[in-house]
A and B are shown apart, each in its own frame.
Chain A
Amino acid sequence: MEELKVDKHIQYILSIEKEKDSFMALTMEHLRMNGAYWGLATLDILQNIATVDQNEVISWIMSCWDEESGGFAGNVGHDPHLLYTLSAVQILALLNRLDILDVEMVSKYVSGLQNVDGSFAGDMWGEIDTRFSYCAICCLSILRSLDKIDVAKAVDYIVSCKNLDGGFGCTPGGESHAGQIFCCVGALSITGSLHHIDKDLLGWWLCERQCSDGGLCGRPEKLSDVCYSWWVLSSLIMIDRVHWIDKGKLTKFILNCQDCENGGISDRPDNAVDVYHTYFGVAGLSLMEYPGLKTIDPAYALPVDVVNRFFFPE
């Protein structure tokens, strides 16, 4: 079996930072904050976060902060959004520099996006999605500010998006999708509300995402894709049903999606690599206890040693 090309992947992550002018890099420009999180989290799991200049990263992150609203944008000059606010907070947690934040302002931004029914808007324009419920809950939990929102209502809204197949959709009635399931299961985990889930029913739906090539897909009758190694696997772990899939086959699938020459991991074997799939591939391997990797927490999508700092401050 192929091995994980740790050094190549580190080189790959470091190289994409420099390559800013290609078309692909430019289409990602608006979500550079997410990209930074994927890249840095990968480096940390690979035990190599020291290779980046932390001060540079932090000052760039803070230049994406919108003082007026308290939220973070995807890049300098863009508008703030929950998606990027969570990534920014996750990166600062990863670098153990949460102290730089105006926690009051950031949590005010997040809590201000909660609606009366408990749901969350992504930003001031009001798009509602359970993805944003996760972003808000995860972000506030990291900042120890969950008391700023109505957690019970937030949980009720997520539960209202539960389907008869045990999974969750974007909004009530929306089809179950592994990415969405991660968000809902993650939010319920963080708030200690997993009892709302029928673990056997959802676990079966999730384990049936393993395709004959060993990879995982996001919905029934779909192709496998490395990113679901994260969405499906983390959800299965949170509900204690991860033993229902064949980890050996999945490990092989992920390793087969590596670009062994230039580093990086792609969605499927022999496709073009990107930082998103590189992160989810490496994170998936970490969830399967691949040797030499830091263990990642399935709910916070951060290494366990980082997450433990939220509960047990030094």
Chain B
Amino acid sequence: MHGRPRKPQRAVDAAAATANASKLQDLQSQLIHNHHLRLDFDRYTNEAISVCSKLLEINPEINTAWNYRKFAFQHNLHETTNSEHIKSLVDDELRVVEMALRENPKSYGAWYHRKWIFSQGLADVDFDREFLLLDQLLQADSRNFHGWNYRWFVSKLKDVPDPEELEVSKEMVMTNFSNYSVWHNRSVLLSRLLNNKAEGFFEREGILTKEYGFVHDALAAGSKVQSGWFYHLCLLHQTITPNEISLISSWPPHESALVLSAIRDTGYYFTNTRKLPIVLYFNQTVKGVNSSSVIVNSMLFKNEELVWKPLPPTKSEKAACWVTYLQFPDMKSWEAKVYVIEVKIDHSEAIISSCSGSRSIHPLNFRFTLSLNYDNLEFAESVDELLDWTDVESLGVESNDLVSFDQSKLSEDLVSGFSKWQMQTISGEINLIETLSKENCKFDKLTLARLLIAHNAMLSHKTPVTERQIHFREVLELFDDLVKLDPKHSKYYEDEKSLVLMNQVTFDKKSFSNHCSSSRNYISSKLHLHGCMQLRNLSLTRIGYVERLLWVQVLDLSYNKLRSIEGIEALQLLTCLNLRNNQICSFTALQPLKLLSYLKVLDISFNDIGAHPVDTARYLFSSPSTRSVELDKEFLEDYCRSKVDITNNWEAICLFRDLQLHQLDVKNNAVADKNFRDLLTKALPTLMWLDGERLR
């Protein structure tokens, strides 16, 4: 019940209410009675139908009453062939619906009854009457979504061309800028016309430019209303969608020379997993990446045997990031030479953009070489020393890291492959919003920030660094303003800001070098790792721009405010990860780690794991709760025997049983008690170090 005041009834009202109640009760029991007699006699008296009408007039929500009418209607229809009679039967139903809608214009049952009657296709539809009814209803409540849905239904029945409906929506927006329903209607019509390339809608760019003009008028008239801004965002999204699929980064990088080795020495990139990933990162979500759309040529592997997987893996097999693994079951047969591996993506049209459906792809080849460090073919696991994260300091940059950085950004020029129209539109919008901008309007500021971010993404790498830095500063200031202006959404602005920060520290070599640490000093004596990145204490709440970090093996994200690590799965080489002192709330939030087969060292100490009963990551990843992981019976029984409480720890079990960690720090989380340590030692048979203590 909505909008009824909470107050004691007056005596007069109470008496009336009792009378109404007994009338309703009487009608309801008569209906149920008649409804059941129907089964016995298949008979529908006028009296019974009129009881049903009266009931629906008072309470149009009773489904069973509408059902009764449908049975009666079908029965009566069966008895007659006279078209006049049929028409009058139809009219009777339409009248009852109208009466019911007068009582409750949001009655699902009433609206559906009307649709159902028309769907029988028995009599000509009087469309004037239907549109008049709609006009009246939408005049009374222009946001009634039942009415709008019915409008779709009627205009489809009448075959009203979309451009006509688009005109109607224009008129309606002009009368009321804050009617979100009309804006929505317009967005649906327009995208349908554009996608179908309907007559007069071939020229996407021209049409969108006109729409911008239209929404500007609305915003100028009342920039405080949300609706116009939502529509503006919808236009922005349609403007910045890349026209062409392109590969923006890869690992291994183009022209790189990899030396594989098993243990400490001069080689890189190998552990006892005996596999090497090839990672492709596209500028948008795509499907159709497989061994026929991406050809890997080498003497070492058969291309057909490579299986490409989306990251993260989803049922619909769509992702911006894709990976395949080169397996090395037996390296002893390798010759002492350098193997060239070439990766080719051509015009095959097999790769499809999952947002635009476009098959247009920028063809691309890249290659790298593999050779083997012959001295170390024993796959000994050499990591049994404790890795101390406090050793990690910025000791200057190792040149190798930056070479990787440059090369992994495959197609810098392609990133700026936006059309002139796209760039002009975004620049134009920035100027316009800046002039339109009123003091302290959050939508102005937010839209401006979004436009600047879009603009930044379109800048070519030739743009001077200083110009970019100015952009970054401007956007960050806007978000700071927004936090003050609209504190209830401060965390939204912080999350957006976090992505800008990630962009800022990773966009060029110079800013990058401040965050790369020398690996040789602290790690290489223990692990053969050379891609080390330090992003400590930056107030990051989430990560982004992972396509620039594909080469990273050691990542220090400690002392941030991370709640989520989504996206980290792209960092397939990641071996050591420091998440100490963040705001991770659950083990499910760490599920992306399961996709990192190299991961050996993990620090999640000083987080909030276990402190919150509500797990906001519960449905995000593969788990028993999304029916995508079944815990097998044997496994469950094994845990039951060891007295581990599975129901309350399945998140941890599902995470850790798929990791091969050597070192874990989990202290100072709400879960980290004695029982939990037992669970960990069971779930992680490879674990050597727990919270700095040697286990095995």
Residues of A within 8 A of B (CB): 21-24, 26-27, 29-31, 73-74, 77-79, 81, 123, 125-127, 129, 141, 146, 152, 155, 163-165, 169-171, 173-177, 189-196, 200-201, 203-205, 207-208, 210, 214, 219-222, 225, 237-246, 249, 259, 266-268, 270-274, 276-277, 287-289, 295, 297-299, 304, 307-308, 311-312
B564 / chain A contacts, CB cutoff of 8 Å: 240
Task: Give chain B nearest CB distance to A308 CB in angstroms.
Answer: 5
Task: Give chain B nearest CB distance to A270 CB in angstroms.
Answer: 5
Q: Does B221 contact A (CB under 8 A)?
A: no
Of the A-B pairs whose beta carbons lie under 8 Å apart in the complex, a sample of 11, sorted by A's number, is: A30-B28, A79-B63, A81-B63, A125-B70, A125-B112, A170-B145, A221-B180, A239-B620, A243-B563, A244-B491, A312-B636
Given contacts A26-B24, A164-B187, contact A295 B4 (CB under 8 A): no
Task: Give chain B nearest CB distance to A139 CB in angstroms.
Answer: 14
Q: How far is the CA of A21 from the CA of B28 in the complex (A)?
A: 12
B325 / chain A contacts, CB cutoff of 8 Å: none
Beta-carbon nearest neighbor of A24 in chain B = B1
Q: Which of A123, A125, A164, A267 contacts B237 (CB 8 A)?
A: A164
Given contacts A146-B627, A196-B316, A299-B619, contact A175 B3 (CB under 8 A): no
B430 / chain A contacts, CB cutoff of 8 Å: none
Q: Does B230 contact A (CB under 8 A)?
A: yes
CB atoms of A276 and B1 under 8 A apart: yes
Q: How far is the CA of A238 from the CA of B617 in the complex (A)?
A: 7
Q: How far is the CA of A168 from the CA of B240 in the complex (A)?
A: 22
Q: How far is the CA of A27 from the CA of B2 in the complex (A)?
A: 14
Q: Does B484 contact A (CB under 8 A)?
A: no
Other than A240-B617, A272-B7, A298-B618, give 11 A-B pairs with Cβ distance below 8 A. A77-B32, A170-B145, A171-B149, A190-B619, A190-B626, A195-B312, A201-B237, A219-B180, A221-B227, A270-B6, A304-B613
Given contacts A78-B63, A267-B2, contact A26 B28 (CB under 8 A): yes
Q: Does B334 contact A (CB under 8 A)?
A: no
Q: Which of A125, A146, A274 contacts B116 (CB 8 A)?
A: A125
Q: Does B603 contact A (CB under 8 A)?
A: no
A173 / chain B contacts, CB cutoff of 8 Å: 149, 152, 188
Q: Which of A22, A30, A204, A237 contacts B62 (CB 8 A)?
A: A30
Counting from the closest, the 6 A-B pairs by CB-CB distance are: A192-B626, A246-B488, A189-B619, A272-B4, A295-B613, A244-B492
CB atoms of A126 and B116 under 8 A apart: yes
Q: How far is the CA of A159 from the CA of B482 in the complex (A)?
A: 32
Q: How far is the CA of A261 from the CA of B148 in the complex (A)?
A: 41
CB atoms of B613 and A243 under 8 A apart: no
Q: How far is the CA of A207 from the CA of B70 in the complex (A)?
A: 42
- The residue among A239, A267, A311 with the most chain B CB atoms within 10 A of its own CB is A311
Q: How far is the CA of A246 from the CA of B486 in the complex (A)?
A: 10
Size band of the interface chain B makes with A: 35 or more
CB atoms of A222 and B143 under 8 A apart: yes
B622 / chain A contacts, CB cutoff of 8 Å: 192
B233 / chain A contacts, CB cutoff of 8 Å: 165
Q: Does B445 contact A (CB under 8 A)?
A: no
Task: Give chain B nearest CB distance to A201 CB in angstroms.
Answer: 8
Beta-carbon nearest neighbor of A128 in chain B = B112
Q: How far is the CA of A274 from the CA of B64 in the complex (A)?
A: 23
Beta-carbon nearest neighbor of B24 in chain A = A26
B618 / chain A contacts, CB cutoff of 8 Å: 238, 297-299
Q: How far is the CA of A212 from the CA of B492 in the complex (A)?
A: 16
CB atoms of B184 and A165 under 8 A apart: yes
Within 8 A of A (CB), among B608-631: 612-614, 616-620, 622, 624-628, 631
CB atoms of A165 and B230 under 8 A apart: yes
A22 / chain B contacts, CB cutoff of 8 Å: 17, 21
Task: Give chain A nearest CB distance to B422 CB in angstroms.
Answer: 18
CB atoms of B487 and A246 under 8 A apart: yes
CB atoms of B227 and A220 under 8 A apart: yes
CB atoms of B1 and A272 under 8 A apart: yes
Beta-carbon nearest neighbor of B146 in chain A = A170
Residues of B within 8 A of A (CB): 1-7, 17, 20-21, 24-25, 28, 32, 35-36, 59, 61-64, 66-67, 70, 108, 112, 115-116, 143, 145, 148-149, 152, 178-181, 184-185, 187-188, 191, 225-227, 230, 233-234, 237-238, 312, 314-316, 318, 487-489, 491-492, 495, 563-564, 589, 612-614, 616-620, 622, 624-628, 631, 636, 646-647, 650
CB atoms of B616 and A245 under 8 A apart: no
CB atoms of A210 and B63 under 8 A apart: no
CB atoms of A249 and B488 under 8 A apart: yes
- The residue among B6, B613, B631, B650 with the most chain A CB atoms within 10 A of its own CB is B6
Task: Give chain B nearest CB distance to A77 CB in angstroms.
Answer: 4
A249 / chain B contacts, CB cutoff of 8 Å: 488
CB atoms of A164 and B21 under 8 A apart: no
A298 / chain B contacts, CB cutoff of 8 Å: 614, 618-619
Beta-carbon nearest neighbor of B646 in chain A = A312
Q: Which of A27, A171, A241, A304 contacts B61 (CB 8 A)?
A: A27
B225 / chain A contacts, CB cutoff of 8 Å: 221
Q: Which of A29, A77, A191, A259 contacts B626 (CB 8 A)?
A: A191
Given contacts A177-B145, A287-B614, contact A127 B21 (CB under 8 A): no
CB atoms of B25 and A272 under 8 A apart: no
Q: How far is the CA of A189 from the CA of B622 in the complex (A)?
A: 10
CB atoms of B149 and A240 under 8 A apart: no
B181 / chain A contacts, CB cutoff of 8 Å: 175
CB atoms of B24 and A23 under 8 A apart: yes
Task: Give chain B nearest CB distance to A236 CB in angstroms.
Answer: 8
CB atoms of A245 and B614 under 8 A apart: no
Q: Which of A189, A191, A193, A244 contacts B495 (CB 8 A)?
A: A244
- The residue among B66, B488, B646 with the most chain A CB atoms within 10 A of its own CB is B488
Beta-carbon nearest neighbor of B312 in chain A = A195
Q: Which of A30, A31, A214, A238 contacts B619 (CB 8 A)?
A: A238
B1 / chain A contacts, CB cutoff of 8 Å: 24, 267, 272, 274, 276-277
CB atoms of A273 and B21 under 8 A apart: no
Q: How far is the CA of A214 from the CA of B24 in the complex (A)?
A: 38
Q: How far is the CA of A267 from the CA of B237 in the complex (A)?
A: 35
Beta-carbon nearest neighbor of A308 in chain B = B647
Q: How far is the CA of A73 from the CA of B631 in the complex (A)?
A: 35
Q: How far is the CA of A277 from the CA of B2 in the complex (A)?
A: 9
Q: How far is the CA of A307 from the CA of B187 in the complex (A)?
A: 38
B66 / chain A contacts, CB cutoff of 8 Å: 125
CB atoms of B619 and A194 under 8 A apart: yes
Task: Give chain A nearest CB distance to B192 CB in angstroms.
Answer: 8
CB atoms of A205 and B646 under 8 A apart: no
Q: How far is the CA of A190 from the CA of B181 in the complex (A)?
A: 29
A126 / chain B contacts, CB cutoff of 8 Å: 116
Beta-carbon nearest neighbor of B16 in chain A = A23
Task: Give chain A nearest CB distance to B567 CB in angstroms.
Answer: 12
CB atoms of A127 and B627 under 8 A apart: no
Task: Give chain A nearest CB distance to B452 CB in angstroms.
Answer: 17
B628 / chain A contacts, CB cutoff of 8 Å: 192
